[in-house]
Amino acid sequence: MGWLRQIVTNDRLRRELPFLALAWAALASTYWPLHHTEGWASTSALVLTLVLTAGTVVLRLAGRAHRIEFLVPLTYILVVALLRQAEGGSQSGLSALGLVPVVWTALYARRAELVVMLSGLTLMVIVPILVFGEPLYPAQEWRRALLLVAVGSMIGFVIQHLVADVTDRSEAMARQTRMVEVIATTMRQLPNDSDIRGRLCEAAVEVGGSDMAWLFEPDGDGHLVQKGRAGDVDLHTVQVVIDPRVSGAARVFLEREPLFVEDAARHPGESQKLAALTGAASVLFQAIVRGDEARGVLVVAWRSIVSVDEHALVAIGLLATEIGAALERADLLAEVHVWRTRTL
């Protein structure tokens, strides 16, 4: 019974079992009672179903059928076409079974494969009309065929749109959950981290899915300088003049509003210089604020042009808030350490 257990536990094979079951059920309705009018069609359907069933099970269990999930429903359409012929053509009542593979493809496959499946459905209802004609397929069968294809197309594309929407929402929720986990883990580890600023930049890279991040803070002489980084580009020699007219970082520092530059190389101001120095294509500037005071600017960069979604912006903003609190605690601890050293 090991093979039965493998069938039950094989996820991809379980997806294809409905087609095999429906194909055999349709065959049973054709052979019993014995009233089919086209013996060659029913025999062909039986042989094709046997081959389809055996091939699907054997190849799936052997792990060698990489595209079988698409071939099974496509072959199933041919089985339905043969059974329609065996059952008397347009009067068979089996045409609706052609919608089953369309629904399956919309659920599990890509748009191109759905178009191929709809083409197969179209051929299933149109080719018999052209080849055999009346009396099996009278003239009014054209209207039924077009209606079936239209309904199948609507069902397929609507289902695929809904599946894509659900998938996007699920992925967005997973990303949000991961972002929250990263922020929570970072804040728990900070008290024991010797490089707080570097660790915060690493968290920004992970949350934003970026390539680099820097933390700039004022040096007291009218410049923003690097105090922490994540990535392979070190900007410790760069001094950013705190002037909103030429520097995106300075503008964000003064106005305390985030700034996302999708194409840094084409953006006027300091972001062009940053792009030249680091190879950054897209850049996000996020102010670090504690209370009413701006403490610095978190700069997050991507080497390819990206469109950062709202959830990532919110997560990086939340991280920036935590950075402000962490820096304040770190500075207070440093002052306490200096005070203790002097008193001792």
Overall average pLDDT of the 68-95 stretch: 81
pLDDT in tens, 253-278: 998 888 888 888 777 665 677 888 88
Pair 234, 165 in one domain:
no
Pair 230, 261 in one domain:
yes
Convert the chain into a string of H (helix), E (strand) and C (coil).
Answer: CHHHHHHHHCHHHHHHHHHHHHHHHHHHHHHCCCCCCCHHHHHHHHHHHHHHHHHHHHHHHHCCCCCHHHHHHHHHHHHHHHHHHHCCHHHCCCHHHHHHHHHHHHHHCCHHHHHHHHHHHHHHHHHHHHHCCCCCCCCCHHHHHHHHHHHHHHHHHHHHHHHHHHHHHHHHHHHHHHHHHHHHHHHHHHHHCCCHHHHHHHHHHHHHCCCEEEEEEECCCCEEEEEEEECCCCCCCCEEECCCCCCHHHHHHHHCCCEEECCHHHCCCHHHHHHHHHCCCEEEEEEEEECCEEEEEEEEEECCCCCCCHHHHHHHHHHHHHHHHHHHHHHHHHHHHHHHHHHC
Pair 8, 157 in one domain:
yes
Query: Does residue 150 have a pLDDT over 80?
Result: yes
Last residue of a domain, one of 155, 170, 185: 170
Last residue of a domain, one of 114, 135, 170: 170
pLDDT confidence bin for 59, thresholds 50/70/90? low
Look at residue 36 in the predicted model and tell me its pLDDT. Answer: 47
Instruction: Please count the structural domains in the chain.
Output: 2
Tell me the pTM. 0.60
Domain region containing 215: 193-343
Look at residue 37 in the predicted model and tell me its pLDDT. Answer: 47
In a domain, 178, yes or no: no
Pair 23, 133 in one domain:
yes
Pair 27, 141 in one domain:
yes
Percent of the chain with pLDDT strictly greater than 90: 18
Pair 93, 222 in one domain:
no
Overall average pLDDT of the 109-113 stretch: 89
Query: Does residue 310 have a pLDDT over 80?
Result: no
What average pLDDT does the chain have? Answer: 80
Pair 240, 166 in one domain:
no
Pair 339, 218 in one domain:
yes
Domain with 320 in it: what CATH number? 3.30.450.40
Look at residue 153 in the predicted model and tell me its pLDDT. Answer: 95
